[in-house]
Amino acid sequence: MRCIVKGEVPEAFAQWKARNSAKSDWSSFSKPQSQSYVIYQKLRHSLISEQKHQCCYCEVVLKKEGDAHVEHLKDQGHHPDERFNFSNLLASCQYRDSCGHKKGNGFFKEMVSPLDENCQARFTYTARGKIIPLDEGDSFVQKTIDLLGLNCKRLIDRRLSIIRNLAPVEREYLLQALDNCVEWGWGFYTVIEYMIAKRKQSF
């Protein structure tokens, strides 16, 4: 999980909120046939750009607008006041076995959030592609992993493929892969960071 630094509220979304948010619900705002759908699309694009074109939870590359939906970190069911709060909005991948769709209304207070400054430092990986708590006793990290489905077979296989492909390469290539993880289609920024850290340990 890569730390996300929130930027300014997109102007079009701020203007729409000022006029409409008190009397609107999310489903009508994001409905393709609605007048507000253009605003929703601009919001989604802003979130994807803010996240450097990677899913807020699993870090898969979001290549096209349709690859992501707007995710509520604090779910709408239990936190209706956060529905249109830009600080609560992220871009999550569309896979059903992980991330936002898997999480649903499962947010809990101690959940590790990609908005937490130290979130990256609480996770690590195994050589077999699993994401695990850096501290074995950190039960909230493990609960977060389970809630988001971050060790579903699809994600483990993707990470393992990256680890195997990057294992024999020179450190300079690893650094290039980190800088170009979206452009090259790798994604999984923190997996590449893990590989760089392992390479440092070998010297």
Q: What is the pLDDT of residues 74-110, one digit of tens each?
A: 999 999 999 999 999 999 999 999 999 999 999 999 9
Distance, CA of 14 to CA of 7 (rounded, Å): 13
pTM beyond 0.85: yes
Where do the domains of the chain lie? 11-201
DSSP 44-70: HHHHHHHTTTB-TTT--B--SGGGEEE
In whole angstroms, give the CA distance from residue 159 to residue 152. 11
What is each CA distance from 200 to 119, 120, 203, in whole angstroms? Answer: 22, 18, 6
Q: What percent of the chain has pLDDT over 70?
A: 99
**What is the structure's pLDDT at 200?**
76
What confidence score (pLDDT) does residue 203 get? 47
Using the predicted structure, report yes or no on whether residue 137 has a pLDDT greater than 70. yes
Amino acid at 143: K
Cβ atoms of residues 91 and 67 within 8 Å? no
User: What Cα–Cα distance (Å) separates residue 20 from each residue in 32, 96, 190?
Assistant: 17, 31, 38
| pLDDT value of residue 202 | 61
Q: Is the dihedral of CA 139, 6, 66, 74 positive or negative?
A: positive
Alpha carbon 152 to chain centroid, angstroms? 15
For the chain, the average pLDDT equals 94
Q: Is the pLDDT of residue 201 over 80?
A: no
Confidence of residue 3 (pLDDT cuts 50, 70, 90): very high
